[in-house]
């Protein structure tokens, strides 16, 4: 299989950056997309050129490190999929594949396809946890949680923080990510004690980081590898309103 | 903690937008009088218009309406500018059509078209009837201001008919996304309910688009 990768190369945060084309001809269609990039990088090493910087860790769709904008879609042409789960069989022989880093003011480019997503970490630091004593694990049935509630909390907890929502959103809104983190905890009894400060502080940090406002285009829920529903953002709006009204 | 602009501005847009959506229902219902045969339409339309002009309640509603439009546009501008700043570099290739609707991505463009329409629309009617600019409005046999004739005259001009009819398209598009988005902005998150709201938004947009689009054409051919 032969394709031409047209890849964004940028030497550092301050570099202007530009696209460069790399024809690669000995790929197989059962290679993953990241393996195809590895393959290209090996060629570049042999040729004494700089390898293309891109991120990954688990390569099994759970860590959220591998965000790349591929042929006009976050994580490539499929809905609900991480880049590491994308295979070359999704492309045709002879295709030109345009490969870009996540674009958002709040995700500055570090190098090539690698962006700085620490804005997400700073949002998490504002309340995506519960304050509790550490020690031996509490008795499992001390807090009873109905299955339906646990399931709903898990739906939100599935967020792997890959940043596809911000990348695909025309407003670079981080509302789906932040809503998932907040709803995950606020839906559970353990999260209730700090629910109001959590929602206020985390959304305020989202504002400070320079993300945009959600206008419900719905692109985020399509690109989210975990299929987290955009109704989470509406729920976040309700929670924020409630915490404003309750004044706590 | 201070008010979060990411949410406050959107809430203001949603509240004013939904208020304008309610207004449009009343506005279109009343304008359906124009679809009646002339003998019925003239007295009905003119007495309705007099009723509105003389009601103190409507005066309050009118000021709310002006405020809603101004605030809606003001906050829409702030949100749009901030959102552009958050995405300073666009993708070289972006197949956004595969994950979102065109209207949802172009609410500012659609809104600007509507704003242009509103300005011209107010110049056509409000300026002449309420401000008394231009040619004086005649009275009908019942002694009411003949607002019907103002409408009729305007829509004898094919350019205005085309303009009014075509502008119903961006309006409908704006409303289709705006109505369902507004509910989510205000925190309505029940998933089944949201599906129903999405369907209602589509029906509402069609009714508003067809209704406002057809009236000038019908009046033209009277
Ligand atoms: C008849 C007049 C109008 C009605 C009924 C209307 C209705 C709405 C509604 C219900 C929303 C949704 C609010 C939300 O998502 O929270 C909205 C959003 C918006 N409107 Fe309007 N609107 C009107 C005129 C305008 C005008 C004149 C402009 C601008 C010049 C404008 C620009 C916008 C923008 C930029 C948004 C927000 C973007 C978004 O949510 O995606 N609208 N409108
Ligand atoms: S590398 Fe871990 S999700 Fe893709």
User: Could you read off the pLDDT of B148-193 as tens digits, one per residue?
Assistant: 999 999 999 999 999 999 999 999 999 999 999 999 999 999 999 9
- Give the mean model confidence (pLDDT) for residues A118-142: 91
Nearest to A96 by CA among B93, B91, B89, B96: B93
Contact check, Cβ <8 Å, A212/B6: yes
Nearest one of B92, B113, B88, B110 to B101, comparing CA atoms: B110
How large is the average pLDDT for residues B134-143? 88
Nearest CA to ligand 1 atom 18: B178
The ranges assigned to domains in chain A are: 3-110, 118-246
Q: Which tokens go with B67?
A: 């405020």
Element (H, E) at A19: strand A18-24
Question: Residues of B at the A interface (Cβ-Cβ below 8 Å)?
Answer: 1, 4-7, 9-11, 79, 82-83, 85-96, 98-101, 104-105, 107, 177, 180-181, 183-191, 194
Q: In the predicted model, is pLDDT for residue B130 greater than 90? A: no
What is the mean predicted confidence (pLDDT) over B48-54?
93
The minimal CB distance from A215 to the residues B85, B181, B188 is found for B181
Contacts of B193 in chain A (CB under 8 A): none
* Interface touch A237/B185, C-beta < 8 Å: yes
Q: Per the CB < 8 Å rule, is A231 touching B184?
A: yes
Contact A231 B194 (CB under 8 A): yes
Q: What contacts B150, CB < 8 A, 6 or more positions away?
A: B125, B128, B129, B137
Q: Where in A67-108 does DSSP place strands (E)?
A: 69-70, 73-74, 96-100
Looking at every residue in chain B, the average pLDDT score rounds to 96
Cross-chain Cβ contact A172/B10 below 8 Å: no
Q: State which residue of chain A sits closest to B184, comparing Cα positions.
A: A234
Ligand 1 atom at shortest distance from the alpha carbon of B181 = 15
Angle between helical axes of B147-154 and B38-54 (0-180°, round to 10): 120
Can you give the pTM of this predicted structure? 0.94
Which ligand number lies closest to the CA of residue B22? 1
Q: Is A65 in the pocket of ligand 2 (CB under 6 A)?
A: yes
Tally the domains of chain B: 1
CATH code of residue B90: 1.20.1300.10
Of the candidate CATH numbers 3.10.20.30, 3.40.50.880, 3.90.78.10, 3.30.465.10, the domain formed by A3-110 belongs to: 3.10.20.30
What 3-state class would DSSP assign to A16?
A: coil
Topology of domain A118-246, per CATH? Fumarate Reductase Iron-sulfur Protein; Chain B, domain 2 (1.10.1060)
| Closest C-alpha among B109, B78, B80, B81 to residue B173 | B109
The model's confidence at residue B136, banded by pLDDT at 50, 70 and 90, is confident
Phi, psi of B53 (to 5 degrees): -65, -30
Per the CB < 8 A criterion, the answer to whether A126 and B4 are in contact is no
Residue A22 bridge partners (DSSP): A5
Domain extent, residue B57, equals 5-221
Chain A partners within 8 Å of B181 (Cβ): 215-216
Which phi and psi (to 5°) does residue B138 adopt?
-70, 170
């Amino acid at each position: 299989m032969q394709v031409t990768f047209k890849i964004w190369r940028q030497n550092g945060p301050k570099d202007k950056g530009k696209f460069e084309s790399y024809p690669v001809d000995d790929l197989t269609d059962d290679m993953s997309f990241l393996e195809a990039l590895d393959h290209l990088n090996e060629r570049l090493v042999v040729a004494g050129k700089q390898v293309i910087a891109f991120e990954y860790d688990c390569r099994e769709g759970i860590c959220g490190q591998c965000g790349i904008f591929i042929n006009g879609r976050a994580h490539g042409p499929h809905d609900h999929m991480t880049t590491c789960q994308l295979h070359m069989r999704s492309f045709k022989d002879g295709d030109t594949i345009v490969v870009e880093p996540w674009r958002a003011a709040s995700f500055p480019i570090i190098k090539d396809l690698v962006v700085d997503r620490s804005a997400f970490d700073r949002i998490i630091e504002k309340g995506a946890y519960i304050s509790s004593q550490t020690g031996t694990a509490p008795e499992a049935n001390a807090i009873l949680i109905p299955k339906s509630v646990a399931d709903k909390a898990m739906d939100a907890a599935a967020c792997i923080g890959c940043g596809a929502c911000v990348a695909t959103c025309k407003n670079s809104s981080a509302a789906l990510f932040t809503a998932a983190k907040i709803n995950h905890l606020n839906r559970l009894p353990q999260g209730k004690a700090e629910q109001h400060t959590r929602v206020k502080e985390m959304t305020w940090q989202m504002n400070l980081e320079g993300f945009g406002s959600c206008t419900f285009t719905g692109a985020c829920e399509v690109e989210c590898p975990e299929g987290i529903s955009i109704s989470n953002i509406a729920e976040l709006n309700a929670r924020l309103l409630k915490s404003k009204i309750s004044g706590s | 903690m201070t008010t979060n602009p990411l949410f406050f501005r959107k809430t203001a847009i949603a509240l004013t937008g939904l208020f304008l959506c309610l207004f449009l229902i009343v506005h279109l219902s009343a304008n359906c009088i124009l679809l009646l045969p002339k003998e019925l339409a003239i007295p009905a339309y003119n007495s309705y218009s007099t009723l509105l002009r003389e009601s103190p309640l409507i005066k309050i509603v009118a000021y709310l309406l002006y405020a809603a439009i101004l605030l809606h546009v003001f906050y829409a501008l702030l949100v749009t500018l901030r959102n552009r700043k958050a995405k300073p570099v666009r993708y070289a290739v972006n197949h956004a059509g595969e994950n979102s609707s065109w209207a949802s991505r172009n609410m500012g463009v659609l809104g600007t078209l509507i704003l242009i329409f509103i300005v011209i629309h107010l110049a056509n009617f409000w300026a002449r009837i309420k401000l008394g600019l231009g040619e004086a409005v005649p009275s009908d046999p019942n002694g009411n201001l003949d607002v019907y004739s103002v409408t009729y005259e305007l829509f004898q001009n094919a350019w205005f008919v085309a303009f009014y009819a075509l502008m119903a398209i961006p309006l409908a598009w704006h409303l289709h996304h705006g109505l369902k988005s507004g509910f989510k902005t205000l925190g309505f998150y029940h998933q089944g309910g949201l599906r129903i709201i999405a369907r209602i938004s589509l029906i509402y947009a069609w009714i508003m688009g067809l209704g406002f689009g057809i009236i000038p054409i019908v009046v033209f051919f009277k």
